[in-house]
């Protein structure tokens, strides 16, 4: 730590009150606080089943994908992970018999991660407790209308800051609805044209 005194101009007003109390700052702070709080409540549930929060997120994204299979690169992008970091996660889940890595039939550079029965069983065992915790600590605190508004707002922001996850939702909706076209122009093309 430096012994240099803080310049008086830097310490007088580190954050003007009008800016520190700006609703934009408050919204971001609340989002971070709620995420941290709900995660802290879910961690013991996941720990009891021998799974980390990140591993749970990865398993859920694979399980919710069409045919319970997802490209490695898409999985890394959706979870904001590096490719090498996702490789380590998938290696760990594969050793536990929860997922399998499979090569693309026509492009050896592309690998998919598929949920195995062990992964489905793991999710089936922990989901009742996870859902109960989410209901108790998060969604149960909101009215139905408030929850719908929150979901709409969060999806809007996620579509800007993490479009890969939004594209995955659109692809999943497309696969389960039997539509000929995704619900947003370019949705599937953007999700499948890379790699």
Q: CATH number of the domain that 73 lies in?
A: 1.10.10.10
Q: Of 61-75, 98-112, 135-149, 169-183, where does the model show the most confidence?
A: 135-149
Residue 124 is assigned to a structural domain of this protein:
yes
pLDDT digits (tens, 9 = 90+) for 24-51: 999 999 999 999 999 999 999 999 999 9
pLDDT digits (tens, 9 = 90+) for 167-183: 777 777 776 665 543 44
Residue 150 is assigned to a structural domain of this protein:
yes
pLDDT digits (tens, 9 = 90+) for 123-153: 999 999 999 999 999 999 999 999 999 999 9
Contact 93, 177 (CB under 8 A): no
Residue 184 is assigned to a structural domain of this protein:
no
The answer, as to whether pTM is greater than 0.85, is no
Alpha helix ranges (H) inside the chain: 8-12, 17-20, 23-48, 53-63, 72-78, 83-95, 117-137, 144-161, 163-177, 187-192
Residue 6 is assigned to a structural domain of this protein:
no
Residue 192 is assigned to a structural domain of this protein:
no
- Tally the domains of the chain: 1
Residue 31 is assigned to a structural domain of this protein:
yes
Give dist(CA 40, CA 7) in Å, integer: 39
Higher pLDDT, 71 or 18: 71
* Range(s) of the domain holding residue 68: 26-179
Mean pLDDT across the stretch 42-69? 95
Give dist(CA 115, CA 94) in Å, integer: 9
Residue 105 Cα distances to 49, 85, 102, angstroms: 34, 24, 9
Residue 2 is assigned to a structural domain of this protein:
no
Taken in order 22, 23, 27, 30, the sign of the CA dihedral is: positive
Residue 1 is assigned to a structural domain of this protein:
no
């Amino acid at each position: 730590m430096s012994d240099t005194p803080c310049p008086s101009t830097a310490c007088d007003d580190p954050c003007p009150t009008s800016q520190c109390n700006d609703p934009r700052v408050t919204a971001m702070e609340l989002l971070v606080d709620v995420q941290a709080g709900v995660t802290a409540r879910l961690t013991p549930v996941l720990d009891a089943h021998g799974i980390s929060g990140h591993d749970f997120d990865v398993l859920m994204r694979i399980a919710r994908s069409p045919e319970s299979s997802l490209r490695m690169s898409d999985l890394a992008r959706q979870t904001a992970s590096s490719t090498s970091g996702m490789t380590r996660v998938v290696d760990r889940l594969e050793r536990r018999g929860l997922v399998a890595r499979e090569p693309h039939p026509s492009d050896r550079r592309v690998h998919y991660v598929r949920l195995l029965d062990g992964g489905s069983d793991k999710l089936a065992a922990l989901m009742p407790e996870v859902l109960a915790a989410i209901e108790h600590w998060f969604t149960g605190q909101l009215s139905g209308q408030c929850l719908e508004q929150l979901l709409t707002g969060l999806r809007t922001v996620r579509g800007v800051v993490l479009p890969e996850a939004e594209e995955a939702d659109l692809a999943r909706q497309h696969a389960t609805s039997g539509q000929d076209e995704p619900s947003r122009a370019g949705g599937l093309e953007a999700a499948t044209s890379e790699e």
